[in-house]
Amino acid sequence: MAKNDSQMLNRELSWLEFNSRVLEEAFDATVPLLERLKFLAISSSNLDEFFMVRVGGLQQLLEEGRSAFDPNGLTTEQQLAEIRRRTERLVADQYQCLMKELDPELAVAGIQRLHIESLNPEQLAHVERIFTHDLYPLISPIAVKMLATFPLLPGLRLNLLVRLEPDKESPQTPRFAVLHLPRTLARFIAVPDPAKYTCIPVEEMVAAFVARFFPGETVVECMPFRITRNADLSVREDQAGDLLGHMREVLDARKRSNCVRLETDERISDAALAFLRQALRITFEQIYKVPGPIDLSAFWALVKLPGFDKFKDKAWPPQASPGVPPDATMFDIIARKDVLLFHPFQSFEPVVRFIEQAADDPDVLAIKQILYRTNENSRIVAALARAAGRGKLVTALVELKARFDEARNIEWAEALEHAGVQVIYGLKRLKVHAKVCIVVRRESTGIRRYVHFGTGNYNEVTARIYSDVGLMTCDEDLAADATAFFNAITGYSQPIQYRKIEAAPHGLRAKLIEMIESETERSKQGQKAHIIAKLNALVHRDVIEALYRASQAGVKIDLNIRGVCCLRPGVAGLSENITVISILDRFLEHSRIVYFLHGGEERVFISSADWMPRNLDRRVELLVPVEDSECRSSLISILKTCLKDTVKARRLLPDGSYERVKPARRGKPLRSQEIFYRQACELAQQAQKNRYMMFEPQLPAKTTRK
């Protein structure tokens, strides 16, 4: 990372450092082989999104003449130059990892990727048959007679540029054609091999027989390439009367947006590259030549191959929550005690069960829920539709502006509407990122509200791979706050003063800074002061400066920031009392948990918000106190266990680089996620044992006397 005397680290370069840490897992020989390949694929897909959004936004600023300084002191031009320099190194590392380390080990393990020239006659004949019967009828070459007729190619899809021999009448004019490889094609084509799984990339197969598309012509060159388009496009909500329609326009505009990156084979000729550069209207700085297959995220297909489980992580199936017995309704469980869930170590099933039981319970009157992202064939979405069909008042706020999930959200928002759900399409000028579900139930004592607050989405798939926490409660103050919050964002009411929660963009940032300053004052008065925060990102300058002031006052600050962190820790006179770690392991660290010692009255919160300008100033987010003593103790234990990790944690240094955290001399290595899973198993087993030890009479079913 570039040297800079600024108190802030650059956000974009910090993100690239994060992706470098992801790639480190692919280099780590202690990680199972196919998990290493998975991390390589993740680092590639991460980089795709980075270029679509962050680089796309910076290039758009530059094109519009709105270059400005970032908090780190770099201009837009300087940021793009630094991104280019750092990305070149990252890409070189990716291909070294694949070609020098993973490919040889995969071949030994029984997974071999061959080049077309390495195939034996039987394999070559097999490949030719597949090309003839499956690929040739599907692919259509597009002749490009002039730059103005260059086809509109989708972003992040593989293409082949074909250079043909010039016409005799115009020997100085090269001729080109483009072959677009549809996403429906498998990226790797299996070839016969009795000893192992052997395959070749589909682009090599097509290139080997490309002359079939151009009978009577001489193919001079055939090279793969892929473009990345700017996805940093947003709807003009001040002009959007029909948000649904305008979101469709944004999705369509992304297909035609400017190219922000061109990836191509390093063997491409100068003539072919010059043609692509002119056709796509890009600079040399936007071109990345690679020495191997383009788009390493495609290697997910090999990670998922059956029969190679010994090269994957041992399964950690989610455990039953000890606080959620299987034979009780969720309403009885929550009425007795607050429930804290820690996914994916503990199952997400209680959340799904909560909403499904609400849909089927005749005493439930209403369900109110915010849906930011969810999965295909979602049981939660199905339950909401079923509840509406049964006459319950169901309101779902569907955030249509959830980036890269807009099309899916539009689809099931319309499906919910057709089922009778009252659907709100987010808010103007703000993204609704809070995670909350409210169930209103009629009981013998009156109306009672049950609430689920979460740090992650209502997504049954990602709940198995993202580490998140959720709180289920019927605390009257929290339920009243949740209702007031939901009514404020679905109606026209102004934000209000809540009893316990805080919400962005109006009060959350101020609350955080107030609590940081409270610890600062306690430390100045000689009291012990401590702040712990577990987040995905720390970018907001106001919060960082408050943390610097706290550090200067002697407050101990331990930060666990998975991704981007713009704070410089360990700087004398500025942040010597601040430590920052980042944990990367088999589950994506996603929970947001905040702790303040508060003079010994420990205050703990869960939140949907990272400490970034977009979350605290331009999104609707929640900060929820956890007051139940057992739940609070569990969250503090999670925070402190993460801080002790000496296997998967990296420590942020003042210059923006990271180093591995190692065990103390003679200390035993501690892997936090392994600890969490072992604890989840032990708690589930103990709860099961306790149920067997309890005698419960089986009563006859209730009947109605005539």
Spatial separation of the C-alpha atoms in residues 550 and 563, rounded to whole Å: 22
Of 436, 426, 419, 415, the residue nearest 368 (C-alpha) = 436
For 322, which DSSP code? Answer: T
Asked whether 185 and 236 are in contact (CB, 8 A), the reply is no
Q: How many residues does the chain have?
A: 706
HSE-up (13 A, CA, CB side) for residue 409: 29
Structure token pair of residue 155: 């972003």
**Are 308 and 34 contacting, i.e. CB atoms less than 8 angstroms apart?**
yes
Distance, CA of 345 to CA of 671 (rounded, Å):
14
Distance of CA 520 to the CA centre of its chain: 34
Q: Any residues with CB less than 8 A from the CB of 532 and at least 6 apart, and which?
A: 557, 558, 559, 560, 593, 594, 595, 639, 640, 643
> DSSP alpha helices (H): ranges in 574-651?
613-617, 629-643
Angstrom CA distances, 486 to 131, 391, 608, stand at 56, 20, 15
The helix/strand/coil state of 424 is: strand
CB 496 within 8 A of CB 618: no
- Residue 346: what are its φ and ψ, rounded to 5°? -105, 150
d(CA 119, CA 122): 8
Strands, E assignment, 146-286: 159-164, 175-180, 188-191, 197-201, 219-229, 259-265
CA distance linking residue 284 with residue 261, whole number of Å: 10
CA distance readout (Å), 77 to 4, 55, 81? 16, 11, 6
**Placement of tokens 């034979």 in the chain:** 327
Tell me whether residue 433 is one of the annotated catalytic residues.
yes
Distance CA 580, CA 637 (A): 18
Catalytic residue among 433, 452, 540, 590: 433
> Could you give the residue numbers annotated as active site?
433
